[in-house]
Copies of this chain bind each other. A is one copy, B any other.
Amino acid sequence: MADVAQAAGVSSATVSYVISGKRPVAEHTRRVVEKAIADLGFSVNTVARSLRTGRSSIVALVVPDLSNPFFAQLAASLQEELRVLGLHVMVCDTKADREEERAFLREAVQQRFAGVVITPFRLVAKDFLVLSEAGIPAVVSADLPFGDNDLVTPDARAAIRAALTEVTEAGRRHIAMVAGPRDATGGDPRLNLLRSLAAQFGTALPGRLVVRGEHTREAGAVGFERLMRIRPRPDAVFCANDVVAIGAMDKAEELGIDIPGDVALIGHDDASFASLVRPRLTTVRYPAADVGKAAARLLIERLDGRSVRRTVHVKAEFISRGTVRTGP
């Protein structure tokens, strides 16, 4: 920058101002400086800028599983939304490990990130203290509020109700669930929601019909198998997400169990492959792109100085395909 200033015969302050536009610069001066910048191929050192301003232009996105297309799409969407403001996204895959989650939060403060967008998986509220102490805004994407952070959360009641309606109309009575791990953040709110809604349909969802595991294909297979040993055998299985549901389908095929003939299966998220498997997976769609957009908006507002907590609800939608009743 000093080089540019010298070449243009101005002070480095002026160069800084033509770049940032934070103070008017005479037309002529500006042109001279811009020419010098081009001639020298100068580009600002953003780390010096960050040191000076105390804030970088990087936002961390912390997710439990980047190989889940839902999160990949969330990442793509968030990146696209923030890009126009000159903000960058650093994607952090924690593999659902609490220590990794905490490590990334620490990292965010060390790097003086502009903000973090996180889908907590095993974190607890006090793990967020490092962030708030450092004054780094966080927006949480989760089913339940989390500390006093901004929140993007699904509005899934209607969708789950629609799912239960279809399941019930298909004559299913023994509903079960392959839920997330017991120590997951919030204790798997999807289970609680399903349970309370099922009650309205006159169906209980007792603990013995809930099986728990990671959000992986393998865990889905294992969980489904355990469910299939219960008598009377469940005839409808809700899954924590689509990855888990795919695992359940693997196992059903292996066991010679017909879906949806013998057992109805309902996923969650509508990850890209949900419509690829056969039969196509009936699922509760939670639009990753919209979640990314909402998170970006919340974060930007926060960066602009808003100080009150906000929540954005993103509507989930029941997508009826072929795993509850024979369909498309």
Please list the 10 inter-chain residue pairs (A to B) with the smallest Cβ-Cβ separation, ordered nearest first. Answer: A278-B278, A91-B91, A72-B72, A273-B273, A90-B90, A47-B50, A46-B110, A66-B76, A76-B93, A47-B51
Using an 8 Å CB-CB cutoff, how does the interface string of A88-110 with B read, 1 for contact, 0 for none?
11111100000000000011011
Taking A47-B56, A67-B72, A72-B72 as given, write out 16 further A-B residue pairs in contact, using a Cβ cutoff of 8 Å, ordered by the A residue number. A43-B110, A44-B110, A46-B111, A46-B112, A47-B112, A66-B75, A66-B79, A67-B73, A75-B91, A76-B93, A79-B91, A88-B92, A88-B111, A89-B91, A246-B276, A276-B276
Name which residue of chain B comes closest to A129, CB basis. B41
Which of B51, B67, B109 contacts A69 (CB under 8 A)? Answer: B67
Q: Mark A26-57, 1 if CB is under 8 A from B, else 0.
A: 00000000000000010111111011000010
Please state if B51 and A79 are interface contacts (CB–CB under 8 Å): no
Whether A184 is near chain B, meaning CB under 8 Å from some CB there, is no
> CB of A272 within 8 A of chain B?
yes
Within 8 A of B (CB), among A269-302: 272-273, 276-278
Copies of this protein in the complex:
2
Contacting A67 at CB < 8 Å: which of B43, B109, B133, B272?
Answer: B272
Known: A66-B75, A111-B47, A272-B67. A89 touches B90 (CB 8 A): yes
User: Does A5 have its Cβ within 8 Å of any Cβ on chain B?
Assistant: no
0/1 string, A130-173, CB within 8 A of B gives 1: 00010000000000000000000000000000000000000000
> How many angstroms from the CA of A278 to the CA of B275 in the assembled complex?
11
In the complex, A91→B59 CA distance in Å? 11
What is the total number of residues of chain A having a CB less than 8 Å from a CB of chain B? 39
Asked whether A198 is an interface residue with its Cβ less than 8 Å from the other chain, the reply is no
Q: Say if the beta carbon of A1 comes within 8 Å of chain B.
A: no
A-B contact pairs, 15 of them (CB 8 A): A41-B133, A44-B110, A47-B112, A51-B51, A58-B90, A67-B73, A67-B76, A67-B272, A69-B72, A76-B93, A79-B91, A79-B92, A80-B93, A89-B90, A273-B273
CA distance A106 to B43 in the complex (A): 8
Assembly CA distance A278 to B90 (angstroms): 35
**Chain B residues with CB under 8 A of A58:** 58, 90
**Which of B76, B88, B92, B273 interacts with A272 by CB under 8 Å?**
B273
For the complex, what is the distance from the CA of A56 to the CA of B49, rounded to whole Å?
Answer: 13
For A45, what are the chain B residues with a Cβ–Cβ distance below 8 Å? 51, 110, 112
Hey, which chain B residues are within 8 Å of A80, CB to CB?
93
